[in-house]
Amino acid sequence: MPKYKYNPPTRTHCAVCEKLRLTDDKPIIESTKGKASSASNYPIHNWYYFVLGYTPEFPNYIIETEKINSSHIVVDPFMGTGTTLIECKKRGIKSVGIDANDYFFDVVSAKTNWGINLNELENSIKELRVEVNNQIFLIEKQEDDEKSSDFLFSDSKNNWLKYGFGKRPKMLDERYVSDVPLAKLLLLKEVIGFLGVDVNIKNLLKLALFAVVVPNSNVKYGPGFGISKAKLDSDVFGSFFRKLDRILSDYKVAKTHYVNGDSLVLHGDARELDTLLEAETIDQMITSPPYPGDHEYTKHTRLELIFADYAVSKEEFRTIKKRMIRGSTTNIYRGDEDKLLVADIESISCVTKLIQTRLDSDGATSGFEKLYTKLVWEYFGGMFKVFKASLKALKPGGKFHLLVSDSHAFKMVHIETAKILGEVAIKAGYSSFSVRLWQNKSSTSHGYDLREDILTLVK
Ligand SMILES: C[S@@+](CC[C@H](N)C(=O)[O-])C[C@H]1O[C@@H](n2cnc3c(N)ncnc32)[C@H](O)[C@@H]1O
């Protein structure tokens, strides 16, 4: 008999999935509506697409079922691209967002600043258009003078740098973005930089630019980080100005139809949110935190972080990653010891023992695989800290709603994320928790749908 291998983990039988399939839980939302990509159908949310984001339907559902109104304050401690904040803002609800990723701080600050004068914004976009066209004209004219059809961008020696639009950033590999699209992106960056406009408008222009970096690159953010066929040229200027048109028309809608509740954007570590928020001031928390799915949360903004100069070296990436909940084997460090905070929780022991048994039976030797159990412990330990800190910030009776998926990422061991997080929260001091099935998510690695649940904690 050949020895049974759990790796690769495809189409393997899962006893927990079989058991869950027999429950008659009805999902609150159909899986077609629950995808992160469905956010592209919503104004403002679609200014910047984040593959690990979520649909605005989730914060809406909580706002409606909890009857949250303008007398309440809502916090999203893992705000990502600010889905919760925007939905609160539209209804005049005060909201606060926290994220460990520097880049998201700027993205959400720009998305939630609805105080810009519309005429000024329109005029700035016109001015930018003229300036960009001037630059292109000058470059093309020079190209003619040089009588070379491929002088400008296609030279692998980066001849276009002669025009002073910056250098290829060291970490922005040519496999990620080809020369010509990068030259055009750098030109836009430079022109936005010297445009004499209000800083809030400039931030919106930058947001539009950052939003078109990946679509004009060779990179595909899936659940992973993929590189596809090189785009040697691309309609960078067209996509950028279309994005700005979109932003402008949504901005008009926001100004005339939405209430514009106050929002505050903070940069920090959710495990220390009690140091950022006043004690007992928050009514509800609504978030989609990292989950134990082996996702490294800087990966899905890697190009933007480099292009926009937030992280230009491995060390700077490491600094950002260290502020994050441990969610991936590439984000575990010597000295991490949040495990100790949850070491007595039986269900985490069961999961990690099963992962270890399967690693042993496979004879797994890779460095990453060896970190699987440590990662699962550190993930739940980190979330324990978030729960402890959130208890201080919430008012008595306040609630914390988390959207989390089950996981099969480690040797196909089924991790019932919401249920285990509920136990972790009780240990941290919450009085009760409930789990509702939000949607069934199809998984590429096996034949079962995985649950995505709303975990609600009550202080
Ligand atoms: C699943 S995403 C949230 C998506 C978000 N709901 C949206 O609409 O875009 C998780 C977020 O948590 C952030 N994050 C991870 N660890 C964190 C920490 N310790 N403190 C604050 N944010 C963190 C990541 O940067 C990422 O933006």
**Sequential pLDDT tens for the chain (459 residues):** 344 445 545 556 788 888 887 777 889 988 766 565 566 678 888 888 777 777 899 999 999 999 999 999 999 999 999 999 999 999 999 999 999 999 999 999 999 999 999 999 999 999 999 999 988 777 766 654 454 433 334 444 444 444 546 677 888 888 999 888 888 898 899 999 999 999 999 999 999 999 999 999 999 887 677 888 999 888 999 999 999 999 999 999 988 889 999 999 999 999 999 999 999 999 999 999 998 888 888 888 999 999 999 998 999 999 999 999 998 888 999 999 999 999 999 999 999 999 999 888 888 777 888 899 999 999 999 999 999 999 999 999 999 999 999 998 888 899 999 999 999 999 999 999 999 999 988 776 666 788 999 999 999
Best residue among 102, 324, 378 to mutate for probing ligand 1, ranked by most atoms within 8 Å of CB:
324
What's the confidence (pLDDT) of residue 351? 95
Single-letter residue type at 381: G
Crossing angle, helix 83-90 and helix 57-65, to 10 degrees? 50
152-164 tens-digit pLDDT:
344 444 444 445 4
| DSSP letters for 200-254 | HHHHHHHHHHHHTTGGGSSEEESSSEEE-S--SS--HHHHHHHHHHHHHHHHHHH
| Backbone region of residue 158 per phi and psi (left: phi > 0; alpha: psi in -120 to 50; beta: other values) | left
Q: Give the position of tokens 């060779």.
A: 218
Name the residue at shortest CA distance from atom 26 of ligand 1.
Answer: 80
What's the confidence (pLDDT) of residue 166? 63
CA–CA distance, 313 with 452 (Å, rounded to integer): 35
Compute, in angstroms, the gap from residue 284 CA to the centroid of ligand 1.
Answer: 17
Indicate if ligand 1 lies below 6 Å from the C-beta of 75.
no
94-136 tens-digit pLDDT:
999 999 999 999 999 999 999 999 999 999 999 999 999 988 7
Cβ atoms of 278 and 73 closer than 8 Å:
no
| DSSP letters for 131-156 | HHHHHHHHHHHHHHHTT-TTSSS--T
Single-letter residue type at 309: D
Cβ atoms of 105 and 269 closer than 8 Å:
no
What's the confidence (pLDDT) of residue 8? 46
DSSP summary character for residue 24: -
Q: What is the mean pLDDT of the chain?
A: 87
Q: Which residues of 67-76 are buried (b: 16+ CB within 10 A; e: fewer)?
A: ebeeebbbbb
Name the residue at shortest CA distance from atom 15 of ligand 1.
Answer: 324
Cβ atoms of 326 and 372 closer than 8 Å:
no
Which pTM does this prediction carry? Answer: 0.92
Cβ atoms of 188 and 307 closer than 8 Å:
no
Indicate if ligand 1 lies below 6 Å from the C-beta of 263.
no
CA–CA distance, 414 with 340 (Å, rounded to integer): 22
Task: Please enumerate in sequence order all residues whose Cβ is within 8 A of that of 266, keeping only pairs 6 or more positions apart, or say none.
Answer: 96, 97, 98, 105, 276
CA–CA distance, 217 with 238 (Å, rounded to integer): 14
Compute, in angstroms, the gap from residue 100 CA to the centroid of ligand 1.
Answer: 7
